[in-house]
Copies of this chain bind each other. A is one copy, B any other.
Amino acid sequence: MFQKTTYLARRKELKEKIGKGLILFFGNDESSMNFSDNTYRFRQDSTFLYYFGIQHPGLAAVIDIDNDREIIFGNDYTIDDIVWMGPQPTVAERAERCGVKQVNELKKLHEIVAVATQKKQKIHFLPLYRPENKIKLFELIDVAPKDVAITYSLDLVKAVVSQREFKSDEEIEQLNLAVNVSVDMHVAAMKFARPGMTEAEVAGEIHKVALAAGGDIAFPIIATINGQTLHNHYHGNTIKQGDLLLVDAGYENQMCYAGDLSSTIPVSKKFTTEQKEIYEITLAAHQAAVDALGLNTPFKNAHIAACTTVFNGLKEMGFTKGNAMDAFDAGAHALFFPCGTGHMMGLDVHDMEDLGEVWVGYNGQPKSTQFGLKSLRLAKPLKAGHVFTIEPGIYFIPELIDLWRGQNKFNDFIHWEKVDSYRNFGGIRNEEDFVMTLEGAKLLGKPKPKTVAEVEAMR
């Protein structure tokens, strides 16, 4: 974890922003796979990490602004626990590391919250994404699980976003480390993948690099010959000569900072001519998005740059027609690029997604409801300290092609026959991570092989 002063300063700022009341934080518990004690790897809640830094299950915390106290709640271990899990620091020792002086048993949280309720203190809590924490809230203050989404504290959400969105130098350092290992994961895949392997074998090689580095994957690995399916975690196919292999994978380091990169490689030694042509358009879109990044410039501009570059590149190849900006406004580009150009990144790979994209990516402005644009997670002006991805791609999605063509949709923008001839092409995406600085956007981590020549040199 960071120095104690970091957590003290973060909590001090939060208290000032919230002003009064009691802030209730739930750490995450262990998550059971198929029975209570068989658990997935533990992942602490990112906001809990941000303010307390403790990577340990079964904790809660209170910042009682009105009574000027901070308490961490958790239960210490018995000798039985130590036999099974080894010697462990006490809750008090863990709390001390983040500058919290008061600790108590978990059951005491009920008393503290009951008194606060009685005294009509405002109790702030975040929207909860973990069901175990919804149950805890229900047992503490009788908010039904289905009502969490309408009773959480919007003031708290805004305050947390306003702090977590700006990455400090020590956070940028962690993110650079996470991205560097993410690059290693992609380079490993590029060197390892051979015709005749399964996607699962490639995914295993990628996952191994993350584990060997001491952390884990930041999100489920995509390693697929069906790159047109945007979140495809099926790894059962055998990869063959002529296929494209799309990899989307990132490292979460020991401090829980994420990297998030995508690559697309030919399963053969070289791209085919057709693959290379589409690949080059995605690279042009990538560069157009990067070129559109600027301090105080809306990220939406980068998205528009990427979408129109995709559209114009495909126009030269005969897939599309008409004006690119008109196509963007109509949403026609989304046939090929139905998602967003990037998202915030930090302790979460989609940073703070559980707090609401409208706050994290849109400064509270409503999001578009148009297919394609509605999937853009980040649109607001970029400030120094914002960390985000750039990841335009081109996808030929047979189901979407058939649906829209059948609806006679976008006939003014799309040459359907040409598109249909590419229906089995697959998908291509590259993805890199950037930080906005006072001097403009900077690439995080070491560069990843990206050009056709760089990628083919890895094969």
Q: List chain B residues, Cβ under 8 A from A219.
A: 33, 38
User: Which A residues between 202 and 228 are near B, CB-CB below 8 angstroms?
Assistant: 203-205, 207-214, 219-220, 226
Specify the chain B residue showing the minimal Cβ separation from A354: B35
A65 vs B410: C-alpha distance when bound (angstroms): 52
Closest beta carbon of chain B to A221's beta carbon, Å = 9
Contact: B399 with A83, CB < 8 Å?
yes
A18 vs B39: C-alpha distance when bound (angstroms): 31
Copies of chain A in the complex:
2
Contact: A200 with B214, CB < 8 Å?
yes
Tell me if A45 is interfacial: C-beta within 8 Å of chain B. Answer: yes
User: Which A residues between 391 and 427 are near B, CB-CB below 8 angstroms?
Assistant: 397, 399-400, 403
Specify the chain B residue showing the minimal Cβ separation from A224: B86
Task: Report if A36-B231 is in contact (Cβ < 8 Å); known contacts: A83-B397, A207-B208, A400-B83.
Answer: no
Tell me if A282 is interfacial: C-beta within 8 Å of chain B. Answer: no
Tell me if A347 is interfacial: C-beta within 8 Å of chain B. Answer: yes
Contact: A86 with B135, CB < 8 Å?
no
Specify the chain B residue showing the minimal Cβ separation from A351: B35
Of A56-64, A101-109, A138-146, A446-454, which stretch is located at the interface? A138-146
User: Which A residues between 115 and 146 are near B, CB-CB below 8 angstroms?
Assistant: 129-132, 134-135, 138-139, 145-146
User: Which A residues between 330 and 384 are near B, CB-CB below 8 angstroms?
Assistant: 338, 347-350, 352-354, 371
Tell me if A70 is interfacial: C-beta within 8 Å of chain B. Answer: no
Closest beta carbon of chain B to A351's beta carbon, Å = 9
Specify the chain B residue showing the minimal Cβ separation from A372: B83
Residue from the list B226, B348, B400 in contact with A38, Cβ < 8 A: B348
Task: Report if A230-B84 is in contact (Cβ < 8 Å); known contacts: A43-B34, A350-B35, A350-B38.
Answer: yes
Closest beta carbon of chain B to A406's beta carbon, Å = 11
Q: List chain B residues, Cβ under 8 A from A34.
A: 28, 43-46, 256, 347-348, 354
Residue from the list B204, B229, B403 in contact with A86, Cβ < 8 A: B229
Residue from the list B40, B86, B135, B371 in contact with A131, Cβ < 8 A: B135
Contact: B220 with A211, CB < 8 Å?
no
Task: Report if A214-B231 is in contact (Cβ < 8 Å); known contacts: A129-B36, A347-B34, A348-B35.
Answer: no
Q: List chain B residues, Cβ under 8 A from A399.
A: 79, 82-83, 87
Contact: B35 with A40, CB < 8 Å?
no
Contact: B145 with A138, CB < 8 Å?
yes
Task: Report if A353-B38 is in contact (Cβ < 8 Å); known contacts: A200-B213, A204-B208.
Answer: yes
Tell me if A198 is interfacial: C-beta within 8 Å of chain B. Answer: yes
Of A151-159, A232-240, A435-443, which stretch is located at the interface? A232-240
Contact: B129 with A131, CB < 8 Å?
no
Contact: B36 with A86, CB < 8 Å?
no
Tell me if A85 is interfacial: C-beta within 8 Å of chain B. Answer: yes
Specify the chain B residue showing the minimal Cβ separation from A134: B135
A139 vs B201: C-alpha distance when bound (angstroms): 42
Contact: A41 with B208, CB < 8 Å?
no
Contact: B145 with A400, CB < 8 Å?
no
Q: List chain B residues, Cβ under 8 A from A203.
A: 211
Task: Report if A86-B232 is in contact (Cβ < 8 Å); known contacts: A79-B399, A79-B403, A207-B208.
Answer: yes
Q: List chain B residues, Cβ under 8 A from A85.
A: 229-232
Q: List chain B residues, Cβ under 8 A from A40.
A: 31, 33, 40-41
Provide 16 A-B residue pairs closer than 8 Å at the C-beta atoms, listed in order of the A residue: A34-B46, A34-B256, A34-B354, A35-B350, A38-B220, A38-B353, A39-B220, A80-B371, A83-B229, A83-B338, A85-B232, A131-B131, A135-B135, A200-B212, A204-B208, A214-B235
Residue numbers of A with Cβ under 8 A of B are: 28, 31-41, 43-46, 79-80, 82-87, 129-132, 134-135, 138-139, 145-146, 198, 200-201, 203-205, 207-214, 219-220, 226, 229-236, 256, 338, 347-350, 352-354, 371, 397, 399-400, 403
Given contact pairs A35-B46, A82-B399, A130-B131, enumerate 13 new A-B contacts (beta carbons under 8 Å). Answer: A33-B219, A34-B256, A34-B348, A38-B349, A40-B40, A80-B371, A86-B226, A135-B135, A135-B145, A200-B213, A203-B211, A204-B209, A214-B235
Please list the 4 inter-chain residue pairs (A to B) with the smallest Cβ-Cβ separation, ordered nearest first.
A204-B211, A86-B229, A131-B131, A204-B212
